[in-house]
Amino acid sequence: MTTTKFKPGTICVQAGWKPKKGEPRILPIYQSTTFKYDNSEQMARLFDLKEEGYFYSRLQNPTNDSVASKIAALEGGIGAMLTSSGQAANFYAVFNICEAGDHFVCASAVYGGTFNLFSVTLKKLGIDCTFIDADASDEEIDKVFRPNTKALFGETLSNPGMAVLDIEKFARIAHRHGVPLIVDNTFATPINCRPFEWGADIVTHSTTKYMDGHASAVGGAIVDSGHFDWDAHADQFPGLTRPDESYHGLTYTRAFGKMAYITKATSQLMRDLGSIPSPQNSFYLNIGLETLHLRMPRHCENAQKVAEWLKVHPSVKWVHYPGLKEDKYYQLAQKYMPQGSCGVIAFALKGNREDAIKFMDALQMICIVTHVADARTCVLHPASHTHRQLSDEQLGEAGVAPDLIRLSVGIEDAEDILADLSQAINSIR
């Protein structure tokens, strides 16, 4: 029986590590850089990618792979690779198919770190990114595609603006231009949305957030749907469809078929650039994943209560939460994540910037932290913290209003969260 046939809750608990007779029931931490073989020929075949097996943890490690396969099963993908951070996941996801001279398109409402990576660092590597308004028409988005465009990128739920991506529309546009759609599914998690079911080709994650869920370990993941036909656009993706000199002329699509993209990411990018998670961190991630299906509904239930409370509070200027009927993204959220979006709410208080800061400083249980999306309710002012390197214009592009407060609602008792918010708001008046 394959675990991919199971429901998501069962996959969270059961997928990944499959012990054989006498092996540990719980996923072991293979804290070893290297693996033993009986003779030189066996090792040589591994290096030629002619045989599967572990030889060096920078390329593959059994603990990491078990957790990667659980995430692949959750997303309904055919393979996944773990990375040491979400940043590394998004970098590799793009760099696996883009090289100097190439171009890709990104929905502008994305995480600040992703915005910097795409607009500054990838540019230095010769890869150009055009940011577009995700709500623009098909025709407007079509116009920014170029002959050298290699991918379209967006976040299921944007951090911190809480915009919902119209995945079907984005997939349609990407495929019309012969490129894959890459979706960062960090906030929704596969419990609430599985982008492959709506046409996305590659999914990325910062597992640091809900997947780990306890703020224990920074990590990331790339998942391959196996759906994109690289050979149908062979000239566009020579890295996958032409011989790789660093692997004795092996061609990924020919040697690995549907697994070409994810195999190249591991055997070429991870080999050359590193950024693997430690097996210890993957062990923590796996424990987090075992309860993801229990935590996400609670995050959504609590956030819905908090959003509705904020919505009618006289000191609150505005609230963005896709679970609110009046929200701009309510309909899209109903379509793509009918069970709920996540625990993150964006809102602003009436008054000036000092009032927002006073409010956050007055919170008692809820802490100001850079982190988001874990069991503990926390708060952040992106314009003064995570996004402070962006100009006002870039803030606008990234969907971050200067007065936006990002509230990440945890899984505590909703009454206690509301009580803390209430006393802190009242303290500024």
Ligand X SMILES: *Cc1c(COP(=O)(O)O)cnc(C)c1O
> By the criterion CB under 6 A, which residues form the site for ligand X?
85-87, 90, 111, 113-114, 155, 159, 184, 186-187, 206, 208-209, 218, 220
**What are 56's strand-pairing partners?**
34
User: Closest separation between CB of residue 365 and ligand X, Å?
Assistant: 23
Nearest CB to ligand X, comparing residues 118 and 187: 187
Least distance CB 117 / ligand X (angstroms): 9
Question: What tokens were used for 274?
Answer: 């590193």
Closer residue to ligand X in complex, CB, 11/106: 106
CB of 209 to ligand X, least distance (A): 6
Considering beta carbons, is residue 384 or 422 the nearer one to ligand X? 384
Q: What is the 3-state secondary structure (H, E, C) of the chain?
A: CCHHHCCHHHHHHHCCCCCCCCCCCCCCCCCCCECCCCCHHHHHHHHCCCCCCCCECCCCCHHHHHHHHHHHHHHCCCEEEEECCHHHHHHHHHHCCCCCCCEEEEECCCCHHHHHHHHHHHHHCCCEEEEECCCCCHHHHHHCCCCCEEEEEEECECCCCCCECCHHHHHHHHHHCCCCEEEECCCCHHHHCCHHHHCCCEEEEECCCCCCCCCCCCCEEEEECCCCCHHHHCCCCHHHHCCEHHHCCECHHHHHHHHHHHHHHHHHHHHHHCCCCCHHHHHHHHHHHCCHHHHHHHHHHHHHHHHHHHHCCCCEEEEECCCCCCCCCHHHHHHHCCCCCCCEEEEEECCCHHHHHHHHHHCCCCEECCCCCCCCCEEECCCCCCCCCCCHHHHHHCCCCCCCEEEECCCCCHHHHHHHHHHHHHHCC
Query: CA–CA separation, 253 vs 260, rounded Å?
Result: 5
Shortest reach from residue 287's CB to ligand X, in Å = 17
Q: How far is the CB of 92 from ligand X (least distance, A)?
A: 12
**In whole angstroms, how close is the CB of 184 to ligand X at the nearest point?**
5
Q: How far is the CB of 350 from ligand X (least distance, A)?
A: 28
Burial of 39 (0-12, 13-18, 19+ CB in 10 A): exposed
User: Is the Cβ of residue 157 or residue 240 nearer to ligand X in the bound state?
Assistant: 157
In whole angstroms, the minimum distance from the beta carbon of 412 to ligand X comes to: 21
Report the nearest approach of ligand X to the CB of residue 90 (Å): 6
CB of 353 to ligand X, least distance (A): 24
Estimate to the nearest angstrom the gap between the alpha carbon of 240 and the chain centroid: 23
Output the smallest distance, CB 78 to ligand X, in A. 22
**Within 13 Å, how many C-alpha atoms sit on residue 306's CB side?**
33
Between 192 and 206, name the residue whose CB sits nearer to ligand X.
Answer: 206
Of 166 and 244, the one with the shorter C-beta distance to ligand X is 166
164 or 218, CB closer to ligand X? 218
Q: Which residue is nearest to ligand X (CB)?
A: 86
Q: For residues 221 and 349, which CB has a smaller minimum distance to ligand X in the complex?
A: 221
Beta-carbon neighbour count of residue 193 at 10 Å?
30
Place of tokens 């994305």: 110
CB closer to ligand X, 184 vs 327:
184
| Strand order through the sheet with 181-184 | 79-83, 220-224, 202-206, 181-184, 149-155, 103-107, 128-132
Q: Which residue, 263 or 286, is less far from ligand X as judged by CB?
A: 286
Closer CB to ligand X, 169 or 209, in the complex: 209
